[in-house]
Structure 1
């Protein structure tokens, strides 16, 4: 049974301390808080009121998406908790940045979109407790807090949704210089362990925290600058998965008991638009999708040859799952199945991505690229090639099989589904059945199905959740072997099939975490929100 009443840690610093929100004891205290709705609402209405005067005015030179520097004067609101009863306030807090003047020109943020830029990567914790300016969110929490992965390599990759790790676009800074209000939320993550050895940041902690942050913003409508009815979420990798989940699951009652236990504000957690880059999501089906996509690339980048028997079995499981979704591709493509998906990816995403890349090159550069990559045919201003040639072009895969629910429980996602003092668990029957750690259980733990539902945006899109985002920006690099191309394509198709607006594209020859068109994203935000700043 999943342990929910974890021991709470009292961590206060800076404005977190000033807000007067101390972590409280678990167990009975949590149960009492969860069961007293009126008291909870009263407490939240006072403790969670945003103090618009508690800020520092900063001046920085910040580059826009084109690389041009601008003098930006902005109000920075240091970290403040977004719940009344945080498990760990160092992570369950947010910072707000509001532009005042850009290159000497006053900025009116009255109706500006609010960009909620999370910096979560690998389902690890993300903290803003020590941030002193915009775009500083990241995995490094307060001194002494864990930030390293206890098991394996983070399957979700590193951050970048806000902080721009690894040279990625710093969307928090770019949004600020575009004139938007920027909110950077911290969140618990899978590696957090208290003194008793209890993991208190595993599923569904991260998505619950992000929902609580949204509720805080909407509860403070009129106090927090910007239009809190126009919240646009962004995230990369695991952060992209959580951004997509935030968009898909808006106002779902499935999270209410978790939010109540934390003392989240009594407000909506629905967001207006979703930005997701290389989302590591649909985890219970990700192993099959990975083998369908990369299974013919039998060698890992480490040189290890992947077990082909496992790969074949997982591909078969993907075919069954894909058929069950009953999705139709964008642009009138038709049914998306294991048999049609390669053609869909080629015609809808891969060839257009290569075409855009080659068209942007000078003639000499294009000629050189084509000479080095003879599998590409360039004719009439369009690039064509086969699926097999594309896979050969990408080459070695990153991960073994299974890629996500590892037989030896070493994957980051195994840790994401840990519970209590148990560091890692299987979350698929296939992973459990082939366990190599000595487990004798015949069935998955009883709480796993609920956790999978809470962590997968596809469940909410399949049901047509009425509180979902209606605007979707989804991006992925064509060389990204951290996940399958079908994961983001299914997400896009599911939203599109519901009638939502979807802007989904791939970056040619780009790897995990790529964001090569942030200027287009910011323009998209202005268009879908109706912002005329």
Structure 2
């Protein structure tokens, strides 16, 4: 049996290979590995534990492997912060760069099975490797919320990936999870599978990458940027498989693209997420739907002015992307709401056709979230006809947004890049995903940078003496511009990167964690990419911020894509 996550074994293997001078050319699967790192990352098919579970009441044996997927993992501090302000003890110092690979016994000799790869990273937070495939666990493949049961029933290889991300603290005290670390680590895990494809069950050419919220954003960024050379220097630093050379000579012998992306409510395009959020919601904000900051009510503080200023940046960004809707019309600030409304209409009519009781104007919606059910008046949706033949006659989009924000209050201003501005007293949003390893955080949007008033935090014009554009341009002294780009799927869609050919993207109809405009934008950018063969995008009916609530639909879609590419 394998002793999990042994860095000592990796170091010994590297030393042994180096002394033997095994620097043979790489073939990526059956051939000799290309360098000492690749040799140290050889998969041992006999080194597993057996886990006994049930799927649909039937016993199943699962082979479970635990691996460190890079040759130079970063040793992490024992005490790590948790999302929300607490702390946790990290049992293994390399758990952020480790992977648990679970293989149904019946698939152990099958090298064509898909690999269902999961990233966690809620809130873009750092994520130690973990799995729910444990001794005695019961799964139900027919459940609409049990994606692991569905994956095991299908015989897929299940790969749970730990990654560094915001909040990660190395043993030396540095902030080791700064962007683009989560993308780089996920790519390194993919490369581990590609390096060992001929020795492992499953096919690394059939990876289905999936995640929710920050994990959905991570899924989108990785799936959009397949095989981009931009990540090679970062991959070289951690000893990822298939990397040769260093500096200006760094190159790759392996691929890191994926077959399909399944992204739920992806918090993506962080550099523009605040602009999109305020453009969507600024005119609707009030004390009723926006919380106080540092004891100051929304209307009495800096939030309203900040919201308007941030919103003003979105039209130029959106209009400059050159995207188009399905009808060929340009996707601009003038047509974005109409484009999102079209998605709402499609989803509501799908629900009506399958018998869902959608209320007429003046009726009430019944909404359940976090175990609580409540009714909300329908003042935004007008239907024509009755029964399963009813159609959407009109959607009042402004009233729809009010409906959403009545169910769940909006994020305060600033939603994503909050630290040091508008009276925000603590680390919140995604600000600590950015900056150098020596700094806890860095503002990553222009408004927050220019309005940071927190002294001596090394962020903003107040401390650096540089306005936003000048700081971004100073690439010899900081990497902020690269960090923002490297985690943004929009920066890689419609480029020379090998984007995943198949995408399944869902964002709940009552999810206000990011703007509907940002998801509509992502959808049309995916749809435009020449590498993409199909994108399934929906705003599921009355679904809040969540994932894996439509497992039967999602896995039927996955199976159809795999079957069409045997």
Query: How far 1:316 moved relative to its partner?
Result: 1.7
Whole-Å separation in 1 of the counterparts to 2:551 and 2:133:
24
Whole-Å separation in 2 of the counterparts to 1:87 and 1:195:
8
Contact between 2:360 and 2:383, CA under 8 Å: does it hold in 1? no
Aligned partner of 2:414 in structure 1 is: 402
Describe the SS at the equivalent of 1:295: helix
Contact between 1:289 and 1:484, CA under 8 Å: does it hold in 2? yes
Alignment of 1:508 with 2:501, yes or no, is no
Aligned partner of 2:488 in structure 1 is: 456
**Bigger-Rg structure (1/2):** 2
Alignment of 1:314 with 2:345, yes or no, is no
Alignment of 1:60 with 2:60, yes or no, is no
Point out where structure 2 has 5 or more consecutive residues left out of the alignment. 26-32, 76-93, 138-142, 243-253, 366-375, 422-426, 456-461, 473-477
Aligned partner of 1:277 in structure 2 is: 264
Aligned partner of 2:246 in structure 1 is: none
1:378 to 383, 386, 400: 383
User: Cα gap change, 1:49/1:72 in structure 2, threshold over 3 Å: closer, same or farther?
Assistant: farther
Aligned partner of 2:39 in structure 1 is: 46
Alignment of 1:286 with 2:281, yes or no, is no
Aligned partner of 2:369 in structure 1 is: none
User: Cα gap change, 1:254/1:37 in structure 2, threshold over 3 Å: closer, same or farther?
Assistant: farther
User: Cα gap change, 1:172/1:202 in structure 2, threshold over 3 Å: closer, same or farther?
Assistant: farther
Mapping 1:494-533, distance limit 5 Å: 494-499=525-530, 500=532, 501-530=534-563
Contact between 1:239 and 1:279, CA under 8 Å: does it hold in 2? yes
Aligned partner of 1:16 in structure 2 is: 5
Contact between 2:53 and 2:62, CA under 8 Å: does it hold in 1? no
Whole-Å separation in 2 of the counterparts to 1:386 and 1:479:
15
Aligned partner of 1:325 in structure 2 is: 321
Counting matched residue pairs gives 470
Alignment of 1:428 with 2:423, yes or no, is no
Whole-Å separation in 2 of the counterparts to 1:44 and 1:180:
28
Contact between 2:74 and 2:170, CA under 8 Å: does it hold in 1? no
Query: How far 1:54 moved relative to its partner?
Result: 1.6
Aligned partner of 1:7 in structure 2 is: none
Query: How far 1:362 moved relative to its partner?
Result: 5.7
Aligned partner of 2:344 in structure 1 is: 350
Mapping 1:99-138, distance limit 5 Å: 99-101=104-106, 109-128=110-129, 133=134
Query: How far 1:195 moved relative to its partner?
Result: 4.6
User: Cα gap change, 1:310/1:263 in structure 2, threshold over 3 Å: closer, same or farther?
Assistant: same
Describe the SS at the equivalent of 2:241: coil
Query: How far 1:320 moved relative to its partner?
Result: 0.4
Contact between 1:135 and 1:170, CA under 8 Å: does it hold in 2? no
Aligned partner of 1:492 in structure 2 is: 523
Point out where structure 1 has 5 or more consecutive residues left out of the alignment. 1-12, 63-68, 137-166
Whole-Å separation in 1 of the counterparts to 2:415 and 2:145:
27
Aligned partner of 1:142 in structure 2 is: none
Measured against aligned partners, the alpha-carbon deviations of 1:217-237 in whole angstroms (never above 9, x if no partner) come to 011112111121111100111
Query: How far 1:17 moved relative to its partner?
Result: 1.9
Higher mean alpha-carbon deviation, 300-309 vs 201-210, is at 300-309
Contact between 2:52 and 2:134, CA under 8 Å: does it hold in 1? no
Query: How far 1:364 moved relative to its partner?
Result: 9.7
Measured against aligned partners, the alpha-carbon deviations of 1:46-70 in whole angstroms (never above 9, x if no partner) come to 22111112222323124xxxxxx34
Alignment of 1:393 with 2:432, yes or no, is no
Whole-Å separation in 1 of the counterparts to 2:23 and 2:529:
35
Query: How far 1:289 moved relative to its partner?
Result: 0.2
Aligned CA RMSD, in angstroms, stands at 3.2
User: Cα gap change, 1:15/1:407 in structure 2, threshold over 3 Å: closer, same or farther?
Assistant: closer
Query: How far 1:197 moved relative to its partner?
Result: 2.9
User: Cα gap change, 1:248/1:302 in structure 2, threshold over 3 Å: closer, same or farther?
Assistant: same
1:473 to 504, 527, 550: 504
Q: TM-score, normalised by structure 2?
A: 0.76
